[in-house]
Chains A and B, each alone.
Chain A
C-alpha cells in the first residue's frame, strides 16, 4: 500500500469575484461524491463566504482560530456536510486573525487535516497580499481560476508568477463564465487565447450559468443534486480530471449557435478564401 499523501490544493485568482469560492464549494462536493475525503478550508478570513455557499453557516461553532489557539480540537471545528459526509468545512475565524496569522499557522492547519483527508481545497482570498501568502504557504498545487476578461487574465498572470516562485506544482487553469456565443463572435478572448497567454494546462471550462446564482441562494452547490446544468457538469468534470481521469474538454466554438457566428464562418470560408 502506498503511504497516504494529502493533496493541498490552492484555489486562487488574483482578481476578486471571478469564482474561487463557487469553484471550491462545487469541487468539494463533487470530489466528496466521487468518494474522495475532502476538506475545504476557508482562507479568506477577511470576507468569508464558503460556509454560506455550502449552506453550513448555521452549524459553525468553532473556527480555525480556536483550533490554532488550542481552545478546541480540530474535530470540533470541522463542519461535516450532512448529505455528503465525505466533505468537511474548516471555517475561517474572525477577520482580526489577519493581524497575527502567519504562514506557519496555515501550515499547521493543513498538517492537522492531513491524516483524515485525501484532498484539502484552500479557498484563497483575492489579491496577492498577506492573505494570499499565508494560503499559498500551505499548498503544493494550485488551480488558478479566471474569466476571459483582460483584467482577470492579467491578475491571474501575476498570481501564476508568484505561485512559480513558491514552487507550486502543478498549476492548472479553470476558465469561468465562458459565453460561447460571444466567443464565437470573437467578442470575448477565446479559450486558446487565455491558455496561450497564461501557458497553463486547462483543467476545466465553466460556462456562464444562471443556475450558479440559484444554487448560491439556496446554499446547495450545483454538484450536490447531480443536476444536469452546464456549470454542474463542468464542475463535476473538473473533479474527475483532478483525479486523473481523462475527460475531454468541450469545444466552445461548437457551443456557439449565434446567427452572427454562423454568418461569420460562412463568409470567412466562402469569400475570403478566394483571395
Chain B
C-alpha cells in the first residue's frame, strides 16, 4: 500500500481494497449462484416490465432489476418507479415497487429477515404533477423468507386509488 493510498483511506476518500473485493465478490456470486446469464436476466427484466406496465406506467429510465445475495440466498430485486396508475389517470403519481423473490441459494442458509410485505401510501404528491420528494427515496429491498414468495411492496408517495 502506498503512502497516498494510506492517506486517502484514512481520510475516507477511498475504500480499503478488501471492502472493494467483498462488494465485487457479492455481486458476481449473486449472478453465479442464480445461474442466470445477463441475457436471461434481460429477458426476465423485459417480461417483468411488460406485466407491471399493464397496470401502471413505469418510469423506464429509472428501472433497475438486479440480483443480490446474502448467506447463499439470492434475491431478485426490482426497482420500478411508477409514473401513475393506468386505470385511474391521475398525473403526478410516482411510486417505487420493490420486488423480492427468494432465489436459488444452493445451501441451506438463513434467509435475511425482512419486513412483511406492505402497502404503504401517503398523500404527498402535488396535484399539478410535480414529483414528490419522498418518491425519490430508494425503495426498500424486501427479501422474502418464504419460498416462491413474489410480493410487490408499494412504497410510494401517492395513493393510487
Give the interface of A toward B (CB within 8 A).
149-150, 153-154, 157-158, 160-161, 164-165, 183, 185-190, 193, 196-199, 260, 263-264, 267
Are the C-beta atoms of A189 and B22 separated by less than 8 Å? Answer: yes
Whether B29 pairs with A154 at a CB distance below 8 angstroms is yes
**B22: nearest chain-A partner, CB-CB:** A193
Q: A170: shortest Cβ distance to chain B, in Å?
A: 11
Smallest CB–CB gap between B127 and chain A, Å? 41
Docked CA distance A199–B109 (Å):
7
Partner of A150, one of B6, B16, B24: B24
Cβ-neighbour of B1 out of A149, A165, A260 (below 8 A): A260
Q: List 18 A-B contacts (CB under 8 A).
A: A150-B21, A150-B25, A154-B32, A157-B32, A157-B33, A161-B106, A185-B1, A185-B16, A186-B9, A186-B16, A186-B19, A187-B1, A187-B16, A187-B17, A187-B18, A198-B72, A199-B71, A199-B109
When distances are taken between beta carbons in the complex, the residues of chain B under 8 Å from A153 are 25
- Report the separation of the CA atoms of residues A193 and B17 in the bound assembly, to the nearest whole angstrom: 13
Contact A158-B32, Cβ < 8 Å, known A193-B22, A197-B25: yes
Q: Distance (Å) between the CB of B23 and the closest chain A CB?
A: 10
Contact B106 A193 (CB under 8 A): no
Expressed in whole angstroms, the Cα–Cα distance for A196 and B71 within the complex equals: 7
Q: Mark B68-109, 1 if CB is under 8 A from A, else 0.
A: 000110000000000000000000000000000000001101
**Interface size on B (CB < 8 Å)?**
22
Q: Which residue of A lies closest to B24 (CB)?
A: A150
Interface residues of B in 1-56 (CB under 8 A from A): 1, 6, 9-10, 16-19, 21-22, 24-26, 28-29, 32-33
Instruction: List chain B residues, Cβ under 8 A from A149.
Output: 21
Report how far A190 CA is from B22 CA in the complex, Å: 9
How far, in angstroms, from A158 to B106 measured CA to CA in the complex?
A: 10
The 3 A-B residue pairs with the shortest CB-CB distance, nearest first, are A186-B16, A161-B106, A186-B18
Q: Output the nearest chain A residue to B109 by Cβ-Cβ distance.
A: A199
Could you say which residues of chain B place their CB within 8 Å of the CB of A189? 18, 21-22, 25
The answer to whether B28 touches A154 (Cβ under 8 A) is: yes
Residues of A within 8 A of B9 (CB): 186
What residues of chain A lie closer than 8 Å to B10, measured between beta carbons? 263-264, 267
A190–B32 Cα distance when bound, in Å, is 22
Determine the distance from Cα of A41 to Cα of B22 in the docked complex, in whole angstroms.
Answer: 34
* CA A197 to CA B30, docked complex, whole Å: 11
B interface residues, Cβ below 8 angstroms from A: 1, 6, 9-10, 16-19, 21-22, 24-26, 28-29, 32-33, 71-72, 106-107, 109
Once bound together, how far apart are the Cα atoms of A190 and B25, in whole Å? 13
Which of chain B's residues has its CB closest to A264's CB? B10
Q: How far is the CA of A225 from the CA of B24 in the complex (A)?
A: 41
Q: Which residues of chain A come closer than 8 Å to B26, judged between CB atoms?
A: 197
**A154 contacts across to B, CB distance below 8 A:** 25, 28-29, 32
* A161 to B, closest residue via Cβ: B106
User: In the complex, given contacts A188-B18, A196-B71, what are 16 additional A-B residue pairs having Cβ atoms less than 8 angstroms apart?
Assistant: A150-B24, A150-B28, A154-B32, A158-B32, A160-B107, A161-B106, A164-B106, A165-B106, A187-B1, A187-B16, A187-B17, A189-B25, A197-B25, A197-B29, A198-B72, A260-B1
A199 and B24 contacting across the interface, CB-CB below 8 Å: no
Tell me the smallest distance from the CB of B26 to a CB of chain A, in Å: 7
For residue A268, give the distance in angstroms from its CB to the closest CB of chain B.
Answer: 9
- Are A161 and B18 interface neighbours, CB within 8 A? no
Q: Contact check, B107 vs A199: say whether CB atoms are below 8 A apart.
A: yes
Q: What's the Cα separation between A120 and B6 when bound, in Å?
A: 47
- Distance to closest chain A CB from B107 (angstroms): 5
Bound Cα distance from A160 to B105, whole angstroms: 11
Instruction: State A75–B31 Cα separation when bound (angstroms).
Output: 47
Contacts of A267 in B (CB 8 A): 10
| B13 CB to nearest A CB, Å | 14
| B72 A199 Cβ-Cβ under 8 A | yes
For the complex, what is the distance from the CA of A188 to the CA of B106, rounded to whole Å?
Answer: 26
